[in-house]
Amino acid sequence: MSLRLMRLKRKVLIQKTHLSKQSSKGYKGVPILNSLLLFKKLKIMNKIIEVALTGKFGADAVTNLMEVIGATCNPEMATEILLGIYVKPIIPHTVISKSGIAKTVVSIDYWNTTVTCCYEEAVMMHLYVDQDLDTSILTLDNYMEYEKQYSDANRKSFRMPTGEMRSIQDKCSFNEWLSFSDANDYSLTV
């Protein structure tokens, strides 16, 4: 039995014994009945995985392989690699976000299914101006004439571009990365 399956079984059993003391929530906030169904599904999947691994590696190696699979952060990927059926997802190098910003891959973590990316963002200056001021007249040369203090009455907040750019690094899931506009031709399945 895999380590992951043993942990889940232990949590379900502990929660079943404390049901009268606790709410009806089980493993990770799932109701007890659903936790038991999840446990049964995992048990069935583990049997399928064990049979597949036995066919490839022999019965003696299956217990150790199941333990390794259960200890990884992505058991599905680990199983596919061991069985020789893993196909790396195709991830586009550059995408355009919903806000129109071009984002470029810095690194891809296939085990955690995340993309680390970088993009350029305009540096903005925050200031307060008179409530009735037409902000289209503000420039980097004249903004100090119109700037108000936070404590002044009849003021509004305004963000003005400085003309400088800064590089931002961010992380997102594969699904989020593939939801960006230029990623429509890619998918996680082959």
**What pLDDT digit, counting tens, does each position of 93-103 carry?**
999 988 888 99
CB 66 within 8 Å of CB 46: yes
pLDDT in tens, 131-172: 999 999 999 999 899 999 888 888 999 999 999 999 999 999
C-alpha to C-alpha distance for 66 and 70, rounded to whole angstroms = 6
Two tokens, residue 154: 């009849």
CB 155 within 8 Å of CB 146: no
pTM of full prediction above 0.95: no
CB 81 within 8 Å of CB 137: no
Where are the chain's structural domains? Answer: 3-83, 94-183
pLDDT band for 128, please (50, 70, 90 cuts). very high
pLDDT in tens, 30-74: 444 554 555 556 667 778 888 888 888 888 888 888 888 888 888
